[in-house]
């Protein structure tokens, strides 16, 4: 009769769909005389407030009060960490920042009042991009560092080196319930707040600070949230503070609720990132060295941007052993909303970087990406770049192999290749990617939790704990844990709304750790209560206290299960014996620590593992894609609540898919969020659901040292969606030729996919122009569109001129010897035949070979000559002459010859348009040139 582990529905599932489940705003009707608040919004991203006159607002009917800096009895700042978020700023730091508030009998009255507030500003220049912040050295913090070995040297020694950068877009939380707080004066003159907050204790702290009263005078309650996803970890605080301040001033209840568009314009999002990297690989695909600079766009205030950056740096390895690595992290200050926690908390951005690098390397090495990934996996007993041993690293391999089996990965990869061979304009891609995600708050002190469990004389139970319910099923799991601990059916246990007067000094419900932390605290309290009841029950049952067992609402002796007492009867007896029937529980995660200065420690209690296979189909005309199938294998330990866990895996994956493929945040040149509504911000919905969506949990996966052997599940599945990004990349690659990397920023909107395909087609059709060196075309593509063959040639030449001496040398060496009989590209052999080099007399051939060898010996590259239009005698004469040149001269001359060869080749494509010999690729190149020229 165990309750934990049963597939029970979410405790509010019914209420969610019937509308009976209440949210903060639903409670306003219960407060007579409630006032509604509306902000005065600054129309600049950066400006000084030069004057503010709120009195005209008071002339508006039904406006009751205005709020400004002079109304604040305490500290007019809601910034959680650095106190850098003035509630009534004199310097505007982002577009639409509230500078004052108006309270009205209705929302409309407050809005009319706000429109009448007279403001003047002095606009200032704004920083609106990461690049601009770097240029102006505008950083909130950093650089932070994590290092192992000499990464620079390791990269320099590598057989394959890759450098590049990737832009990673942010994400709007789009919780269904927008930010909301409702404050009133309590019966004793303190302030109470209903708040949609993940962190009631911090909301309490901020309210107390703004009002200048002790925290004991402030009670914050969170019944539930209609989603939070990190967006209410600290960003619920300012709205609660404004509501409380309004209450303090007017002595009436005040509600602050942001309508959707305002919520999207004012609240922080997932941090956009820029990563610049250099990576070195062995020829077999093993990573040798990695240096990365991470820049996050933190927006106007610090918020949680430091721990977000740390988590990104911790997760740069994902599931891979990085033998030598040097990562630095900068938190950039821009004049945008203050970016904040979002499911994964920087982890997804860090992991995306290494996944991107691994795939680029795989394509350059012409190895399957899954092989390169697997070769880099952590092995048992290896440590991360911050010195933590990767416990249960074997699970990565096990999950990888099991999932490949169950998803029929190999067969489907072959099927996709067959499909692609038959479909020139539509390609399938498939990819498998792993997830390793560290569980614990990286700030060690947050890893604690408390609980207060009350048993009433009738045997019914109330459970209070520090966690909040945001739809993730925490209360369901806690209810299962409490019911199991006390041996009661679930219906006997009621989970109370989260309140700061029940459990004080709680941590945010975040970092996926809420069940791990609060679950043990609750179990601790229940264990104490059971221990207290044991002697009572023992006496009633005639057995020693140690033999007392609880199950299904009954109490009995281990040795005699026939005689059973109802739980309520034991409880009543205990009451009459004057025993306390309530207990507090407490838990702190053991053994974790981290030192930011040395970059070493054990920040995580354990890792959550998983992997996903995604298959997609991409349309070459539009860049639109379709998710064909998703297979997931997730390690949730012993699942506490399989229905809840499945929901978290499916929901997390879909939210990750939205981030990586659909949701694009845009800011206009004024710094306004241009995508502040569902009409311009595209979210995943039914139509994006995979046609086949298989979710399974790793079996025999008990996690020792975690509540009932379970594992955290809230955030890790989001990063499984990286498999969709990689599958799309695979499909894009199929439009081009092997050996060419596919560079992609995030998100993969149809536009980005389309242009990436265009680039692949371009390289496929023109990569051969420079002998065996598609990189020239790859780089030249950035200068598109080209007006003429001349312009195209010039762009390619420019890329060679810009390349390193090493790359130039490699380009020269990629060419065959003149008169060589093997190993030539089709183009070269055609050209050489045209000049008669395939028909040399034996003596001529011998002479050519001798001179070639002499030339190569002397200069280190083959003799190069643009043979088109030359006779073999001229060529031999030139060779004899140039063998006598100097190194520098010949290097130059050889490059010029390379340009001439390229020029002839380009002309051969574009100026003999009717040639029957034109291949498919060449036709595409022509189309590219004419459609864009």
**Given the rule CB under 6 A, which residues bind ligand MTE?**
227-230, 343, 470-472, 474, 509-515, 648, 651, 712, 714-715
21 contact choice in ligand MOS, ligand MTE, ligand HPA, none (CB below 5 to 8 Å, kind-dependent): none
The nearest distance, CB 441 to ligand MOS, in angstroms, is: 8
* Site map (CB under 6 A) of ligand MOS, residues 459-498, x = contact: ----------------------------------------
Rounded distance between C-alpha atoms, residue 219 and residue 182, angstroms: 12
- Give the alpha-carbon dihedral of 524, 525, 528, 530, to 10 degrees: -100
435 contact choice in ligand HPA, ligand MOS, ligand MTE, none (CB below 5 to 8 Å, kind-dependent): none
Stretch that binds ligand MOS, among 341-349, 374-382, 610-618, 653-661 (CB under 6 A): 341-349
The nearest distance, CB 509 to ligand MTE, in angstroms, is: 5
Binding site for ligand HPA (CB under 6 A): 233, 304, 307, 311, 341, 345, 441-443, 446, 508, 510-511
Rounded distance between C-alpha atoms, residue 682 and residue 687, angstroms: 12
The contacts of residue 196 (CB under 8 Å, 6+ apart) are 23, 24, 177, 179, 180, 181, 222, 225, 226, 228, 232, 236
The nearest distance, CB 233 to ligand HPA, in angstroms, is: 6
The nearest distance, CB 622 to ligand MTE, in angstroms, is: 33
The contacts of residue 45 (CB under 8 Å, 6+ apart) are 92, 93, 94, 95, 126, 128, 335, 336, 670, 671, 672
The nearest distance, CB 344 to ligand HPA, in angstroms, is: 9
Beta bridge partners of 296: 273, 331
Answer for the pair 478, 518: CB distance below 8 angstroms, yes or no: yes
Which residue shows structure tokens 């007019």?
A: 76
- Which sign does the torsion angle of CA 24, 26, 29, 30 carry? negative
Residues 342-361 that bind ligand MOS (CB under 6 A): 342-343, 345
675 contact choice in ligand HPA, ligand MOS, ligand MTE, none (CB below 5 to 8 Å, kind-dependent): none
DSSP letters of 539-564? HHHTS-GGGEEEETTEEEETTEEEEE
The nearest distance, CB 33 to ligand MOS, in angstroms, is: 35
The nearest distance, CB 443 to ligand HPA, in angstroms, is: 5
The nearest distance, CB 528 to ligand HPA, in angstroms, is: 29
Which residue from 46, 512, 30 is spatially nearest to 300, judged by alpha carbons? 46
613 contact choice in ligand MOS, ligand HPA, ligand MTE, none (CB below 5 to 8 Å, kind-dependent): none
Backbone angles phi, psi at 835, to 5 degrees: -90, 5
44 contact choice in ligand HPA, ligand MTE, ligand MOS, none (CB below 5 to 8 Å, kind-dependent): none
648 contact choice in ligand HPA, ligand MOS, ligand MTE, none (CB below 5 to 8 Å, kind-dependent): ligand MTE
| For ligand MTE, the closer CB: 66 or 472 | 472
* Site map (CB under 6 A) of ligand MOS, residues 164-203, x = contact: ----------------------------------x-----
Q: Is residue 233 involved in binding ligand MOS (CB under 6 A)?
A: yes
Q: Is residue 230 involved in binding ligand MOS (CB under 6 A)?
A: yes
The nearest distance, CB 711 to ligand MTE, in angstroms, is: 11
| For ligand HPA, the closer CB: 307 or 553 | 307
Q: Could you write out the three-class secondary structure of 246-305?
A: HHHHHCCCEEEECCHHHHHHHCCCECCEEEEEEEEECCCCCEEEEEEEEEEECCCCCCCH
Beta bridge partners of 428: 617
Q: Distances in Å between the alpha carbon of 856 and those of 805, 862, 874?
A: 17, 5, 19
| For ligand MTE, the closer CB: 697 or 859 | 697
The gap from C-alpha 769 to its chain's centroid, in whole angstroms, comes to 39
Q: Could you write out the three-class secondary structure of 37-68?
A: EEEEECCCCCEEEEEEECHHHHCCCCEEEEEC
| For ligand MTE, the closer CB: 192 or 710 | 710
| For ligand HPA, the closer CB: 220 or 508 | 508
User: For residue 64, how many C-alpha atoms fall within 13 Å in the half-sphere facing its CB?
Assistant: 20
Would you tell me the crossing angle of helices 842-859 and 887-910 to the nearest 10 degrees?
120
Residues 747-766 that bind ligand MOS (CB under 6 A): none
791 three-class SS: helix
Q: Among 511, 555, 695, 734, which residue sits at the site for ligand MOS (rule: CB under 6 A)?
A: 511
Q: Is 380 a catalytic residue?
A: no
Tokens of residue 649, six digits: 């895996």
Rounded distance between C-alpha atoms, residue 386 and residue 600, angstroms: 5
Q: Is residue 510 involved in binding ligand MOS (CB under 6 A)?
A: yes
Tokens of residue 272, six digits: 């956009």
**DSSP alpha helix (H) spans, 120-259:** 130-135, 151-156, 200-211, 237-250
Beta bridge partners of 327: 146, 292
Catalytic residue among 715, 726, 771, 890: 715
| For ligand MTE, the closer CB: 9 or 559 | 9
* Site map (CB under 6 A) of ligand MOS, residues 689-728, x = contact: --------------------------x-------------
Q: Among 42, 324, 341, 521, which residue sits at the site for ligand MOS (rule: CB under 6 A)?
A: 341
Stretch that binds ligand MOS, among 55-63, 337-345, 364-372, 400-408 (CB under 6 A): 337-345
Q: Is residue 332 involved in binding ligand MOS (CB under 6 A)?
A: no
123 three-class SS: strand
The nearest distance, CB 438 to ligand MTE, in angstroms, is: 13
Catalytic positions are 715
User: Residue numbers of the site for ligand MOS (CB under 6 A)?
Assistant: 198, 230, 233, 341-343, 345, 510-511, 715
């Amino acid at each position: 009769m165990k309750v934990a582990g049963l597939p029970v529905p979410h405790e509010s599932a019914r209420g969610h769909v019937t509308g009976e489940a209440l949210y903060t705003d639903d409670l306003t009707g219960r407060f007579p005389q409630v006032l509604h608040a509306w902000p005065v919004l600054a129309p600049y991203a950066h400006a000084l407030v030069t004057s503010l006159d709120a009195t005209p607002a008071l002339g508006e009917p039904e406006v009751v009060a205005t709020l400004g800096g002079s109304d604040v009895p305490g500290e007019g700042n809601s910034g959680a960490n650095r106190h850098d978020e003035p509630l009534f700023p004199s310097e505007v730091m982002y577009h639409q920042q509230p500078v004052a508030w108006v309270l009205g009998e209705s929302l409309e009255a407050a809005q009319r009042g706000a429109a009448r507030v007279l403001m003047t500003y002095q606009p200032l220049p704004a920083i609106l991009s990461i690049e601009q912040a770097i240029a102006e050295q505008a950083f909130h913090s950093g650089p932070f560092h994590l290092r192992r070995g000499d990464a620079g040297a390791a990269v320099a020694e590598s057989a394959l080196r890759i450098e590049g950068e990737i832009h990673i877009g942010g994400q709007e939380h789009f919780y269904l319930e927008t930010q909301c707080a409702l404050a009133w004066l309590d019966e004793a003159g303190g302030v109470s707040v209903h708040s949609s907050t993940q962190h009631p204790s911090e909301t309490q702290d901020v309210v107390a600070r703004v009002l200048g009263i002790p925290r004991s005078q402030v009670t914050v309650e969170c019944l539930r949230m209609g989603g939070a996803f990190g967006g209410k970890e600290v960003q619920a605080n300012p709205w609660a503070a404004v509501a409380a301040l309004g209450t303090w001033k007017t002595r009436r209840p005040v509600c602050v609720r942001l309508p959707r568009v305002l919520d999207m314009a004012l609240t922080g999002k997932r941090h956009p990132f820029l990563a610049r990297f250099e990576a070195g690989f062995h020829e077999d695909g093993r990573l040798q060295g990695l240096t990365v600079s991470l820049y996050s766009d933190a927006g106007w205030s610090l918020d949680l941007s430091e721990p977000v950056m740390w988590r990104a740096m911790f997760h740069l390895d994902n599931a891979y052993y990085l033998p030598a690595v040097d990562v630095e992290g900068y938190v950039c200050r821009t004049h945008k909303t203050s970016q904040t926690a979002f499911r994964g908390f920087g982890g997804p951005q860090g992991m995306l970087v290494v996944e991107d690098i691994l795939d680029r390397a795989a394509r350059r090495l012409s190895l399957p990406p899954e092989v390169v990934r697997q070769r880099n996996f952590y092995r048992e007993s290896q440590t991360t770049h911050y010195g933590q041993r990767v416990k249960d690293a074997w699970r990565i391999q096990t999950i990888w192999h099991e999932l490949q089996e169950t998803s029929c990965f190999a067969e489907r990869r072959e099927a996709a290749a067959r499909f692609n061979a038959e479909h020139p304009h539509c390609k399938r891609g498939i990819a498998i990617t792993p997830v390793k995600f560290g569980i614990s708050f990286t700030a060690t002190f947050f890893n604690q939790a408390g609980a207060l469990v009350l048993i009433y004389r009738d045997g019914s139970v109330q459970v209070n704990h520090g966690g909040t319910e945001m739809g993730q099923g925490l209360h369901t799991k806690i209810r299962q844990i409490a019911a199991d601990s006390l041996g009661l059916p679930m219906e006997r246990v009621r989970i109370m709304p989260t309140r700061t007067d029940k459990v004080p000094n709680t941590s945010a419900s975040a970092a996926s750790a809420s069940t791990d932390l609060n679950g043990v605290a609750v179990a601790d309290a229940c264990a104490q209560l059971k221990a207290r009841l044991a002697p009572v029950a023992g006496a009633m049952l005639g057995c020693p206290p140690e033999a007392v067992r609880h199950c299904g609402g009954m109490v009995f002796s281990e040795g005699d299960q026939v005689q059973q007492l109802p739980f309520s009867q034991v409880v009543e007896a205990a009451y009459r014996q004057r025993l306390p029937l309530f207990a507090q529980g407490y838990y702190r995660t053991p053994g974790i620590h981290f030192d930011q200065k040395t970059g070493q420690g054990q920040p995580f209690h354990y890792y959550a593992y998983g992997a996903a296979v995604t298959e997609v189909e991409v349309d070459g005309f539009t860049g639109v894609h379709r998710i064909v199938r998703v297979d997931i294998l997730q390690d949730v330990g012993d699942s506490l609540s399989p229905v809840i866990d499945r929901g978290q895996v499916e929901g997390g994956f879909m939210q990750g898919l939205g981030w990586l493929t659909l949701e694009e945040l845009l800011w206009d040149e004024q710094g306004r969020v241009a995508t502040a509504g569902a009409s311009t911000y595209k979210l995943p919905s039914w139509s994006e659901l995979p046609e086949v969506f298989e979710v399974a949990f790793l079996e025999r996966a008990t996690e020792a040292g975690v509540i009932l052997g379970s594992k955290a599940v809230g955030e890790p599945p989001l990063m499984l969606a990286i498999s969709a990004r990689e599958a799309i990349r695979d499909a894009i690659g199929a439009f081009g030729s092997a050996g060419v990397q596919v560079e992609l920023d995030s998100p993969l909107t149809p536009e980005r996919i389309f242009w990436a395909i265009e680039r692949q087609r371009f390289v496929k059709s023109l990569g051969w122009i420079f002998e065996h060196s598609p990189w020239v075309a790859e780089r030249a593509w950035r200068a598109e569109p080209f007006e003429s063959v001349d312009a195209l040639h010039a762009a390619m030449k420019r890329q060679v001129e810009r390349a390193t001496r090493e790359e130039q040398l490699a380009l020269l060496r990629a060419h065959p010897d003149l008169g060589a009989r093997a190993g030539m590209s089709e183009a070269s052999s055609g050209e050489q035949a045209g000049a008669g080099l395939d028909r040399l007399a034996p003596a001529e051939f011998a002479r050519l070979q001798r001179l070639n060898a002499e030339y190569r010996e002397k200069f280190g590259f083959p003799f190069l000559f643009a043979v088109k239009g030359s006779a073999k005698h001229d060529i031999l004469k030139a060779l004899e002459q140039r063998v006598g040149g100097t190194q520098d001269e010949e290097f130059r001359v050889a490059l010029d010859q390379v340009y001439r060869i390229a020029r002839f080749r380009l002309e051969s494509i574009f100026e003999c348009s009717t040639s029957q010999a034109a291949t498919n690729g060449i036709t595409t190149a022509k189309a590219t040139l004419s459609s864009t020229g």
